[in-house]
Each structure stands twice: as structure tokens, then as C-alpha cells.
């Protein structure tokens, strides 16, 4: 479930769906959709069969770049329009932004295809200002995103473990559970936070959070996004002056407790050099 998250967090999303009466069937390839009276009949691999009133086909986002490509604008490996950080295409005075264009990734330091509404707005502002004679650049995306599934919110920013390893980092991912506010106040909820950092340098590389919709999940992932944007180390999150009041948070926020858990685990896994006594 929710393959943009690590499997342990995706499992929490699947449990939330099941709790609300949704039957979850993963690893099934849909083979046919047909009519059976007034309902729709679906068959799939591994003997999967179901009947329903509605079938929603979600195949992901693909760039609509045909018109621009026909005009001579270059496209990249994802079929999206190639742009530089000023959102310029290879055709003079033609700019591109949003889901049709590539996106500069701030951590990977290269272009990717990562269509998000927040990214499109930022790119559009850069393209518009430059088209009007300005000189600004797109600062880059971190892939920060959040989604609500019934009473849960799932969010992520930056790189997951496999993505970080592919990019040449030595990633360490640690999961920590923490309360969203002091537990002696009513309505406290558990947050599941996974932090990915570079084992050797301690640099923050990414974070994922799943928690109740009242637990400020999206704003807490924004703390991680701000730290990533400024290339902070995981340990540095403990020094950030975050707000505290018992009904809403803790003296050490869940973000900071997760960071401290990561630093503890890093200290166990990074070998200490042997001392040389002269």
C-alpha cells in the first residue's frame, strides 16, 4: 500500500483502509472489467474476482508534451520537457513549468520527473518572472507530499533508503514512535516517524511520517523539509527552537525525538577508529 512510503508505514495505511471496510488486494494485475447485470465484474491474476458499482483506473501522471515536442522543444527520459533552473527550454523565449516539465531535485542535484502541485506553482512563478525579464532560478524540489486516508495522514520528504543508496549515499533509516503531544492531555496520538540519514556524515536525507489527521503530520514533515532544504544534519534537529505547549506538543517534539533515535542508532553502527597510543 502507498508505495511512496516504506512498507512498514504502507502497512499502517492498509490497516486503516481495512478498518473502514475497504478490502485491500495488493500484487494483483487486473485482467478484465465487464458487466454483470447492473454491476461491474473484475477478474485478475491469482484467481482474483470482485463485483462493484464503480471502477476507478489510476495509472499515474504522464507529461503531456506532444505539442511542445512538435515545435522542437527537447524532451528527457521521462518524456517531459527539458528545462534549466530558469525554466527555459532549448527554444529561445519559451519556458515550461508544471507536470509537463522536468524538475530539479535539490538533494540529487539533477533533473527528475516529479509532478506535484506545489512544485508546479513554484516553477510557474519562476517561469513567469523570467518571461517578464527577471533573473530567478528554481531552488529545487524535495518531493515533499502528504495524503489523508480516512483518519490517517501519510507524508514524506526527501529520499528513502533505496533512493539514497542509488544516489551514492550510505543511508541509515530508523523508525521511532512518539506521541504528538503530552499523553496526560486528552486525544494524544502516536506518530510513526522514519528518518533516513547518511551514516558517515550524519546528513539528513529524508523522512516519512504516518499518524492521525489531528496530529499535525503535514506540518511536522515540513520541519524535515525545511531542514533538508538547508542541508542540515540529523543531529541539528535537536537544536531547532520548536514550540511547546502540552496540549499540542512536547518539550522534545516528535520530530526531535525521532532525530535523537537516529543519532543513537548511528553511533552503534559507525565503527570507532582504534586509538594509537604512542
Over 102-159, what HEC string results?
CEEECCCCEEECCCCHHHHHHHHHHHHHHHCCCCCCCCCECCCEEEEECCEEEEEEEC
Q: Crossing angle for the helix pair 254-269 and 217-229, nearest 10 degrees?
A: 50
Q: Please tell me whether residues 172 and 89 are part of one structural domain.
A: no
For the record, the C-alpha cell of 18 comes out as 481495512
Query: Which of 82, 103, 131 lies at the terminal end of a domain, its last residue?
Result: 131
Taking the C-alpha atoms of residue 37 and residue 223, their distance in angstroms, rounded to an integer, is 52
Q: Please tell me whether residues 262 and 161 are part of one structural domain.
A: yes
- The pLDDT of residue 271 is 63
Supply the DSSP symbol for 199. Answer: T
Closest CA to 78 of 50, 46, 105: 105
- The pLDDT of residue 58 is 86
Q: Please tell me whether residues 151 and 232 are part of one structural domain.
A: yes
Is the distance from CB of 123 to CB of 115 less than 8 angstroms? no
Query: Which of 105, 131, 157 lies at the terminal end of a domain, its last residue?
Result: 131
Quick check: is 224 in a domain?
yes
Q: Please tell me whether residues 208 and 112 are part of one structural domain.
A: no
Q: Please tell me whether residues 166 and 261 are part of one structural domain.
A: yes
Sorted by sequence, the CB contacts under 8 Å of residue 224 that are 6+ apart come out as 157, 158, 195, 204, 206, 207, 237, 255
* Digit-coded pLDDT (tens) for 205-220: 999 999 999 999 999 9
- The pLDDT of residue 259 is 98
Taking the C-alpha atoms of residue 187 and residue 211, their distance in angstroms, rounded to an integer, is 13
Quick check: is 45 in a domain?
no
The CATH number of the domain holding residue 109 is 3.50.50.60
- Give the three-state DSSP class for 260: helix
Q: Please tell me whether residues 262 and 162 are part of one structural domain.
A: yes
Domain that holds residue 110: 66-131
Low-confidence ranges of the chain (pLDDT < 50): 276-278
For the record, the C-alpha cell of 74 comes out as 527537447
For the entire predicted model, the pTM comes to 0.91
Beta bridge partners of 51: 41
- The pLDDT of residue 235 is 98
- The pLDDT of residue 215 is 97
> In the chain, how many domains are there?
2
Quick check: is 278 in a domain?
no
Query: Which of 77, 104, 131 lies at the terminal end of a domain, its last residue?
Result: 131
Amino acid at each position: 500500500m502507498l508505495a511512496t512510503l516504506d512498507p512498514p508505514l504502507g502497512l499502517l495505511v492498509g490497516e486503516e483502509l481495512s478498518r473502514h471496510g475497504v478490502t485491500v488486494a495488493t500484487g494483483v494485475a487486473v485482467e478484465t472489467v465487464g458487466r454483470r447485470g447492473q454491476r461491474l465484474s473484475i477478474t485478475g491474476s491469482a484467481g482474483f474476482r470482485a463485483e462493484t458499482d464503480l471502477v476507478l483506473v489510476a495509472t499515474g501522471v504522464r507529461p503531456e508534451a506532444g505539442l511542445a515536442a512538435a515545435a522542437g522543444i527537447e524532451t528527457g527520459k521521462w518524456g517531459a520537457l527539458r528545462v534549466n533552473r530558469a525554466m527555459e527550454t532549448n527554444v529561445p523565449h519559451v519556458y515550461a513549468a508544471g507536470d509537463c516539465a522536468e524538475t530539479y531535485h535539490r538533494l540529487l542535484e539533477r533533473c527528475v520527473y516529479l509532478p506535484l502541485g506545489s512544485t508546479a506553482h513554484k516553477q510557474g512563478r519562476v517561469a513567469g518572472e523570467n518571461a517578464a525579464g527577471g533573473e530567478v532560478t528554481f531552488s529545487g524540489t524535495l518531493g515533499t507530499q502528504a495524503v489523508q486516508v480516512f483518519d490517517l495522514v501519510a507524508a514524506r520528504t526527501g529520499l528513502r533508503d533505496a533512493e539514497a543508496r542509488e544516489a551514492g549515499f550510505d543511508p541509515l533509516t530508523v523508525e521511532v514512535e512518539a506521541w504528538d503531544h503530552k499523553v496526560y492531555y486528552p486525544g494524544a496520538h502516536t506518530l510513526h516517524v522514519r528518518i533516513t540519514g547518511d551514516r558517515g556524515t550524519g546528513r539528513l536525507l529524508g523522512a516519512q511520517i504516518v499518524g492521525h489527521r489531528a496530529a499535525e503530520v503535514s506540518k511536522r514533515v515540513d520541519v524535515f523539509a525545511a531542514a533538508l532544504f538547508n542541508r542540515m544534519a540529523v543531529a541539528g534537529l535537536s537544536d531547532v527552537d520548536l514550540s511547546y505547549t502540552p496540549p499540542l506538543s512536547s518539550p522534545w517534539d516528535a520530530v526531535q525525538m525521532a532525530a535523537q533515535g537516529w543519532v543513537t542508532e548511528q553511533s552503534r553502527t559507525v565503527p570507532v577508529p582504534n586509538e594509537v597510543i604512542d
